[in-house]
Amino acid sequence: MNKLYRYLLVAGLAVISFASQAMEFSAQKVADGVYAYVGPITDRTPENLGLNNNIGFIDTADGWVLVDSGAGDAAAKKLEAIAKGIKNQPIVAVINIGSQDHRWLGNDYFSKQGAKIYAFKKSVKTQAKMFNQQLDRLLPKVPALKGVQMKTADVVLEEASNSLTIGGVEMQLNYYGDAHFPGDSVLWLPQQKVLFTGDIVYLDRMLGVHPWSNPVTWNEAYQQMRQLPSEYIVPGHGKVSDWKQADAETGDYLKKLVEKMTAQAEDFAGVNSAVSENSDWPEFKHLEHYDSWHKQNLNRTYLKLEASM
């Protein structure tokens, strides 16, 4: 083997192993019968198939219950493979706890495999309203999404707190107020003390206030949800953790964001001064994407509060 050939072979192998490493999809055990896929805290890419968020897997006597369905068919197939790799049984239900793309665009795939889809009514409304907009934004980032069909819940939950038992496992789907998206809800497993918070909690990375987010009710929702005696927090993004980290990286941030921007808006300080006076919050600087999101969060929260004065 000549030197150049050997070099190319080694380089090629390195690329293959890097690529397969980057595309590894797996789940970790959270508690007995409960698992989570923890997505990367980067943006959506063709390789991660839009799965840059967390997804839950609950083992029940009837089969798997998934917490959210991933961004489209390709992502859904990866999630299905993860579930069947843990235990080969059908996926009988998907519970959507939000309406951002990677929480529900896999519904159609799972529905066609026989799963029943559950969601809170306001999430369903947001999903239907934002479907086209989400596809337009996402297709350039995740080409695998092409052709995805809209599928919203078969079982639309009407109450702010809904108790469900699927395959002997007790669950509660709770809505505490609009947060990252209108209708964001959480799934609470009282026996296992596991809380899937969806996008109400971001860990390891800075949360994002979008034009359709409501930071005021998001903060209130966090405080209400905080009453649950949860031992395991599966956040919307970031590693599985506990209340201590959730408070430090989401709860405290939302509280400060709303308090500071309310004070600025009451003084009609103007958005430029509100942002520049608050651009440096050292206790949150370790969070990934702080530099790209923090000022944007201040800006949007201030403008929303000023408009409501």
Q: How far is the CB of 37 from Zn ion (least distance, A)?
A: 13
- Count of residues of this chain found to bind Zn ion when the rule CB under 5 A is applied: 3
Q: Would you tell me how many other CB atoms lie within 10 Å of the CB of residue 266?
A: 11
Q: Which helix (DSSP H) or strand (DSSP E) does residue 232 occupy?
A: strand 232-237
For residue 100, state whether it binds Zn ion (rule: CB under 5 A).
yes
Stretch that binds Zn ion, among 98-106, 143-151, 212-220, 272-280 (CB under 5 A): 98-106
- Binds Zn ion by CB under 5 A, chosen from 199, 232, 254, 284: 199
Over the range 220-243, which residues count as b (16 or more CB within 10 Å of their CB) and which as e?
bbbeebeebebebbbbbbbebbeb
Q: How far is the CB of 199 from Zn ion (least distance, A)?
A: 5
In the complex with Zn ion, the residue whose CB is nearer, 233 or 265, is 233
CA atoms within 13 Å, Cβ hemisphere of 67: 33
Q: How far is the CB of 212 from Zn ion (least distance, A)?
A: 13
Place of tokens 């108790």: 163
- The site string for Zn ion over 147-186 (x = CB under 5 A, - otherwise) reads ----------------------------------------
Q: How far is the CB of 219 from Zn ion (least distance, A)?
A: 18
Q: How far is the CB of 238 from Zn ion (least distance, A)?
A: 11
Q: Which DSSP symbol is given to 183?
A: T
Q: Would you tell me how many other CB atoms lie within 10 Å of the CB of residue 179?
A: 31
- Binds Zn ion by CB under 5 A, chosen from 33, 36, 37, 53: 53
Q: How far apart are CA 264 and CA 81, in angstroms?
A: 50
**Chain residues that interact with Zn ion, rule: CB under 5 A:** 53, 100, 199
